[in-house]
């Protein structure tokens, strides 16, 4: 289930998540409660208040945001969604509900300073992450009660338990985030905010 939903997410954002999907599968004990109603699920995800750039995951777009969507529309990979860009932020929303289902930023050729600035802003928005891996991947996971802590993750991992994850924030950098920022060269970094159970339902409805 986890891998299939990540495949749907990969298609929607044009194949930029495959690397992080494989790595997270190795690290995270995962489960999600069964949801049959997309609107109910998105309403629950909205209460988590996972926001970037004035947009909140699973929240309906405002009139101003819909105007931005029309003015800066981009091609969406799924017929059930529409996609647009607001500044540096890409937004994917569900056509049927008008709710945000993906938020992401992607920088293919940037500086180490930009990478660190982006990481710092995510820490300010979401606090300490649930998982860090190889100094290149940072992962915030959210359950029904809010963000899951590193301690909760470690306990689930040690006891073979499962975490009920409703939404995630995932950052991936092609270089170690802690490396010397004075070293020359271009860096690639992106983060994605999404709800795996919601994407699974949207993908199933689109079949």
- pLDDT by residue for the chain (207 residues), tens digit each? 333 443 344 444 444 443 444 344 445 554 445 556 888 899 999 999 999 999 999 999 999 999 999 999 999 988 889 999 999 999 999 998 999 999 999 998 888 888 889 999 999 999 999 999 888 999 999 999 999 999 988 888 787 777 889 999 999 998 888 765 566 667 889 999 999 999 988 877 655
Radius of gyration, alpha carbons of the chain = 17
**Structural contact between residues 131 and 141, judged by C-beta atoms closer than 8 angstroms:** yes
Contacts of 39-48 with CB under 8 Å at 24 or more apart are 39/97, 41/166, 41/195, 41/197, 41/198, 41/201, 42/94, 42/97, 42/99, 42/101, 42/195, 42/198, 44/144, 44/166, 45/166, 45/167, 45/195, 45/198, 46/99, 48/142, 48/146, 48/166, 48/167
Instruction: Name the domain count of the chain.
Output: 1
| Strand 137-143 versus strand 167-173 pairing type | antiparallel
pLDDT of residue 200: 86
Q: pTM (2 decimals)?
A: 0.83
Nearest by Cα to 68 from 51, 52, 79, 83: 83
pLDDT of residue 140: 96
Strand partners for 77:
none
Note down the domain range covering 188: 2-205
pLDDT of residue 3: 39
Quote the DSSP letter at residue 136. T
pLDDT of residue 123: 95
pLDDT of residue 72: 98
Other C-beta atoms closer than 10 Å to the C-beta of 172 total 22
Read off the tokens for 114: 């930009």
pLDDT of residue 180: 59
If you count DSSP H runs as helices and E runs as strands, how many of each does the chain have, helices first? 7, 13
pLDDT of residue 32: 47
Dihedral of the alpha carbons of 167, 138, 170, 150, in degrees to the nearest 10: -10
């Amino acid at each position: 289930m986890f891998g299939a939903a990540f495949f749907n997410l990969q298609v929607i954002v044009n194949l930029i998540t495959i690397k992080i999907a494989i790595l997270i599968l190795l690290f995270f004990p995962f489960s999600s409660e069964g949801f049959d109603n997309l609107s109910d699920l998105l309403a629950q995800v909205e209460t988590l208040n996972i926001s970037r750039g004035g947009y909140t995951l699973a929240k309906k777009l405002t009139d101003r945001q819909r105007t931005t969507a029309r003015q800066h529309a981009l091609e969406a990979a799924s017929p059930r969604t529409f996609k647009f860009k607001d500044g540096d932020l890409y937004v994917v929303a569900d056509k049927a509900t008008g709710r945000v289902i993906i938020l992401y930023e992607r920088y293919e050729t940037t500086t180490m300073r930009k990478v660190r600035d982006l990481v710092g802003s995510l820490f300010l928005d979401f606090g300490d992450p649930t998982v860090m891996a190889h100094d290149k991947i940072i992962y915030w996971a959210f359950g029904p009660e809010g963000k899951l802590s590193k301690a909760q993750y470690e306990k689930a991992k040690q006891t073979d338990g499962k975490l009920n994850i409703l939404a995630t924030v995932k950052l991936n950098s092609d270089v170690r985030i802690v490396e010397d920022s004075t070293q020359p060269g271009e860096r690639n970094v992106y983060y994605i905010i999404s709800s795996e159970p919601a994407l699974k339902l949207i993908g199933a409805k689109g079949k």
